[in-house]
Amino acid sequence: MTEHMTEASEAAEPAEPTIDAPGDEHTYAADELFFSTTDSSGRIRRANSIFMRLSGYPRGALVGRAHNVVRHPDMPSGLYRCVWDDITAGDAVSAYITNRSSDGGRYRVFATIVPSGNGFLSVRTLPMRTDLRDAVEAVYARVRQVETASAAAGASRREAAAAGQAALLEELQALGYRDSVDFTRRTLPDEVAALVAAGVGIPARDGDSPLARVLAEMNGVEVATADLVALLDECSRMVALLGRRSDEIGSLSARLKRLRDCLREAFADVERCGEVDGLVLECVEQLHPLAGQVAELRSDVDSVRFGIALLRLHNLASGFFALQIIDGEDELDANDAVGSLRELTRALRDGAERLTERLALYHARAELVGGELDDVAEALAAIDRPLLDLLGSVPDAGADDEAAVSSVRSARSLVRDGFPEARHLADLAGAVRDLEVPYAAADIDARLVLVEAALAELA
């Protein structure tokens, strides 16, 4: 995505492409990760050989040039406004991008950009979720139509890009994403999990040179985080479960409120239903904040899942670049390769530290929410028998007050099946507490210290 940072940062109105690019698609393997680093305006500072090969430009023609040199006309301007808004807010950004090579061809990537020093680091991988990529490309085509129509109606490029951004966000919502940040949060873990499932991993090489030690430690980080990556699917299931329970809590709260209304209408004798009404009210009051807390916990799990994926992505990028230098695919002295490794390592360290923070937040909230879930589950279980006894004491017919009888019938229908949600909430409390994240933060930190020492020898 940094392909277009200069345009987005200066005016958020990328130049209208004038050249069609119908050329052949340039393909690459799943283990051919590539990257570039840019300054704050999106001008290329460093790049590896795979980027040069796919783009068709030699290093000298890339370094110092705006990344939009590889912009493809299929890409809507609104996308880059989203990118710029998110990246300048400090968020990581991921997107499916089609780039234009120097021969008029194209190559498609899944790009992930993070702030890095006074600029940005963009790691590109082969799109693995081709179904989602194809759906997103269809979205881009529709967004381009919006931008073209806006320009034809007299809008400036900036205004047309803004119209495209609004259209893109609407399209993402139609696909089930809240916004572009949510798209990144959910898509990066899926792409990384698919890469790992396809067997993409850092190969080992013998040797004791500084570069060999860098590779060995990156391999060690990969091993240390293997169980983390295996958690991506489990975290995804937990996110889905928390979402369902959050919705269920809202429905349960509404049902209990209706039940209270029916009880008050059915029983003029306050003392007769007062105890039961008080128990129901207690449940309602406990449920009121719980839906929001469960939603926040869901966001925490989502954040942990994203942090795991970002850590593994930068681990792979660092390890493969070290391997490319060892194998002679990249030159150590060309375009500050050591600086590139330092920047990749710094991104890896930043990700490791942020994952530690994400996990601390999750565990704290999981303990809090788990306790609240247990309390509500117990309260629901406690009202079941008193409710049935109270409602069973009123005849279905023959009472003088038909309205009261009707209210009792309505109340019975609301509690006919009891409160299975009590078991659901108790099970959820156990699930959030039992989610173990085997994160060896100290081991990863120690390995990165050794990497930094090896890079210092190469400087």
User: What is the four-CA torsion angle of 306, 309, 315, 321, rounded to 10 degrees?
Assistant: -110
199 part of a folded domain: no
Regarding whether 433 and 285 lie in a shared domain, the answer is yes
pTM: 0.87
Cβ contacts of 236 within 8 Å, gap of 6 or more = 189, 305
47 part of a folded domain: yes
pLDDT at residue 195 tops 90: yes
Q: Which residue has the tokens 């109270």?
A: 390
Domain boundary among 184, 202, 227: 184
> Of 165 and 247, which is predicted with more confidence?
165
Mean pLDDT of the chain: 88
Regarding whether 304 and 166 lie in a shared domain, the answer is no
Regarding whether 385 and 254 lie in a shared domain, the answer is yes
Residue 288: CB atoms within 10 A of its CB come to 11
What pLDDT does 272 receive?
65
Collapsing DSSP states into helix, strand and coil, what is residue 175? coil
Regarding whether 403 and 256 lie in a shared domain, the answer is yes
DSSP state of 12: S
Region 172-179: mean pLDDT is: 96
Regarding whether 270 and 162 lie in a shared domain, the answer is no
231 part of a folded domain: yes
Q: What is the pLDDT of residues 289-324, one digit of tens each?
A: 888 888 898 899 899 999 999 999 999 999 999 999
pLDDT at residue 384 tops 50: yes
pLDDT at residue 65 tops 50: yes
Regarding whether 305 and 379 lie in a shared domain, the answer is yes
Regarding whether 271 and 163 lie in a shared domain, the answer is no
Regarding whether 214 and 138 lie in a shared domain, the answer is no
123 touches 314 (CB < 8 A): yes
Identity (one letter) of the amino acid at 379? A
Regarding whether 226 and 167 lie in a shared domain, the answer is no
Region 320-344: mean pLDDT is: 91
What pLDDT does 339 receive?
93
Which pair of tokens denotes residue 228?
Answer: 């983390």
The span from the CA of 282 to the CA of 303, in Å, is 32
Number of domains the chain contains: 2
Region 384-389: mean pLDDT is: 82
The span from the CA of 37 to the CA of 42, in Å, is 8
7 part of a folded domain: no
Q: What is the pLDDT of residues 251-271, one digit of tens each?
A: 888 888 888 888 888 776 666
Cβ contacts of 171 within 8 Å, gap of 6 or more = 139, 142, 143
346 part of a folded domain: yes
State which residues form the domain around 64. 34-184
pLDDT at residue 91 tops 70: yes
* Percent with pLDDT over 90 in the chain: 54
224 part of a folded domain: yes
Closest Cα partner for 316 from 339, 340, 345, 358?
A: 345
What pLDDT does 271 receive?
66
Q: What is the pLDDT of residues 361-373, one digit of tens each?
A: 999 988 988 888 8
7 touches 15 (CB < 8 A): yes
Regarding whether 452 and 304 lie in a shared domain, the answer is yes
Q: CATH number of the domain that 160 lies in?
A: 3.30.450.20
What pLDDT does 417 receive?
79
Regarding whether 179 and 290 lie in a shared domain, the answer is no
> Of 81 and 404, which is predicted with more confidence?
81
Regarding whether 144 and 214 lie in a shared domain, the answer is no
193 part of a folded domain: no
